[in-house]
Amino acid sequence: MLTKLQLKLLEQVRHQNPVVLTIPNMVTPDKVADGLSAIGASPIMSTAPQEAAEMMKLADAITINLGTIHEEQANEITTILKNNQNQKPMVLDPVAIGASHYRLAFAKQLLQDHRFTVIRGNAGEIAALANVNWHSRGIDSGSGQADLHEIAKTVANKYHCIVVLTGKTDIITDGDNTFINQLSTSYFVTNVGSGDILSSVIAAYLGVSKDYYTAACTATTVFTATGVKAARESSGFGQWQVKFRDELASIKSSEVLSVL
């Protein structure tokens, strides 16, 4: 499994300081920004279509988060994506699209009009893109009978992108190759926005490496290893949040390896 990872990207993000433009939801932008900053990336967020072109020029990678999408923000996203002539890598985080036809329709429209590098979502969200029945409950992943590996592959092939399906087990696939990550802690579930942060962290890694599949696998592994290490060092939800931020800023490749 380790052959798929390039742990040197961990230091490369800290060294290159990639600018990640995130179009955030209104709930967790601070966590996302601090998470990016902690790993050594430079976060920027924007809500004005008027600056879309400049923001795109500035950015090394882009994350679109649909967590509290509304009409105005949808217009802004459309404007921003039109300005991505240089084909900078883009991550889509289709938050809770299993719970809202409005969100689902917008996500599908985005995926039809633009080529995303990565879609990062939980089982319910990726299942919705595969048109598979799934019992979703808002932002939770929900439960269902279908084979998640197949669902992830279907979506990857449908939209010619990498799918990062996160949960107790993370499934990462480009349609051909599949990488399984078993690192997990229940604190990720309790902490609202864990997925939002990961989506933007993946974008940071895409911003420093052209091998997008390996970058996505590595970002997810480093991120979850950081969470697991933090869980070992803390004894409560609040403490874990603190330790997780400590570790995002300081974890070394060798420590990631020792968690694996």
83 Cβ contact partners less than 8 Å away, ≥ 6 residues apart = 52, 53, 56
Instruction: Choose which of 103, 120, 153, 229 interacts with a second copy (CB under 8 A).
Output: 103
Give least dist CB 247 to a second copy, A. Answer: 8
Spatial distance between the Cα atoms of 106 and 137, rounded to a whole number of angstroms: 19
Answer yes or no whether residue 239 interacts with a second copy by CB under 8 A: yes
> Taking the complex as a whole, how short is the minimal distance between the CB of residue 191 and a second copy, in angstroms?
7
Q: How far is the CB of 227 from a second copy (least distance, A)?
A: 13
Task: Flag whether 120 is marked binding.
Answer: yes
Measured distance CA(144)–CA(232) in Å, rounded: 30
Q: In whole angstroms, how close is the CB of 53 to a second copy at the nearest point?
A: 9
Q: Is 26 annotated as a binding residue?
A: no
Give the x/- contact pattern for a second copy in 14-53, rule: CB under 8 A.
---x-x----xxxxxxxx-xx--xx---xxxxxxx-xx--
Q: Do 29 and 45 meet the contact criterion of CB atoms below 8 Å apart?
A: yes
Q: Which helix (H) or strand (E) holds 61?
A: strand 61-65
236 lies in the binding site for a second copy (CB under 8 A): yes
Count of beta carbons in the 10 Å neighbourhood of residue 165: 25
Nearest one of 12, 56, 11 to 209, comparing CA atoms: 12
Q: Which is nearer to a second copy, 173 or 226 (CB)?
A: 226
How many whole angstroms separate alpha carbon 131 and alpha carbon 116? 19
Q: Which residues bind a second copy (CB under 8 A)?
A: 17, 19, 24-31, 33-34, 37-38, 42-48, 50-51, 54-55, 58, 67-71, 76, 96, 99-103, 137-140, 189-193, 235-239, 241-250
